[in-house]
């Protein structure tokens, strides 16, 4: 066999291998494109259903509006014996948290929690600036210590789902009375930027889904919107609207996932960066 014939054999073999590899590459790219296009067309509700993920209610595609907010946490400097004698006599402030064990017989109707909460918030002998707080059933709970009725301040009807703005009433379920409460409060709340469109429930659920934050066989119990503290700058806090998604895993463990409603990014931890004043 001469040298020229050997060259042709190698050339044809090399060309065949390249054609074969290119066909594999094209096929894989085509299949990937089909999968991508299929995922884009397939609604998140259908994908959840395919993975046996249940949701109680409907998933909204409505785009609400919200702000980046700035606020300062109150140290309850206004609390004095002259201004609030009843509260002053039964409470103390520790690390900007007011702790009160009220002397009065404060009834609470657990069958009408919203109205009972509102009635107590109107009583200036019971609480400071109570008219700023609204009942938030999503974060009220029952634990080993009893029933916790939670309220929060709001900004344009979106509550602060954050421990810096919260009233927690401890209610004795047997007697239907408030035995004690804690209160935190924000002041000087103001927007840092213009109002912005927020991602919808469907969009943030899709983000949680593709990031594997919703395991197969889970149940999405509730989705709710609230302002969440993301940064401390000196005495000021920065808050961002966030979607909170309560998920019950197949093993009955309940986890609350958070997604930034402006950037559609998962908030992976509760650590709040702090920047000291220069």
> Which of 14-23, 68-77, 205-214, 260-269 has the weakest average pLDDT?
14-23
- For the chain, helix (H) and strand (E) counts, in that order, are 5, 18
pLDDT level of residue 171 (50, 70, 90 thresholds): very high
Show me where the domains of the chain are located: 45-66+192-275, 73-189
Of the candidate CATH numbers 1.20.58.220, 3.40.190.290, 3.40.50.300, 3.30.310.160, the domain formed by 73-189 belongs to 3.30.310.160
What's the pLDDT at 196? 96
Q: What is the pLDDT of residue 105?
A: 76
CATH of domain 45-66+192-275: 2.40.128.690
> Residue 49 CB: number of other CB atoms within 10 A?
12
Provide the 10 A C-beta neighbour count for residue 142. 11
Tell me whether the CATH fold assigned to 45-66+192-275 matches the one assigned to 73-189: no
Question: Residue 155 pLDDT more than 80?
Answer: yes
Give the model confidence (pLDDT) of 105-140 as tens digits: 799 999 999 999 999 999 999 999 999 999 999 999
Has residue 36 got a pLDDT over 70?
no
Give the residue from 240, 241, 239, 247 showing the smallest Cα distance to 205. 247
């Amino acid at each position: 066999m001469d040298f020229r014939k050997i060259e042709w054999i190698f050339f044809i073999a090399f060309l065949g291998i390249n054609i074969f590899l290119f066909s594999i590459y094209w096929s894989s790219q085509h299949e990937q494109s089909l999968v991508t296009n299929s995922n884009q067309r397939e609604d998140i509700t259908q994908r959840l259903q395919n993975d046996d993920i249940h949701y109680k209610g409907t998933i909204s595609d409505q785009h609400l509006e919200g702000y980046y907010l700035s606020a300062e946490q109150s140290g309850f400097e206004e609390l004095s014996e002259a201004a609030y004698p009843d509260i002053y006599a039964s409470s103390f402030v520790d690390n900007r948290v007011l702790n009160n064990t009220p002397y009065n017989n404060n009834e609470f109707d657990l069958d009408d929690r919203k109205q009972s909460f509102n009635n107590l918030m109107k009583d200036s002998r019971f609480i400071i600036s109570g008219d700023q707080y609204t009942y938030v059933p999503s974060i009220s709970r029952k634990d080993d210590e009893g029933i916790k009725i939670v309220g929060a301040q709001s900004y344009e009807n979106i509550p602060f789902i954050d421990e810096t703005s919260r009233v927690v009433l401890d209610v004795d379920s047997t007697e239907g009375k408030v035995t004690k409460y804690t209160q935190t409060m924000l002041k000087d709340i103001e927007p840092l930027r213009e109002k912005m469109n927020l991602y919808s429930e469907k969009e943030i659920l899709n983000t949680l889904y593709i990031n594997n934050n919703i395991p197969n066989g889970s149940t999405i119990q509730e989705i709710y919107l609230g302002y969440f503290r993301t940064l401390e700058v000196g005495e000021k806090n920065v808050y961002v609207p966030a979607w909170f998604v309560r998920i019950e895993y197949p093993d009955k463990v309940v986890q609350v996932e958070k997604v930034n409603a402006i950037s559609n990014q998962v908030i992976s931890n509760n650590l709040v960066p702090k920047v000291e004043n220069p």
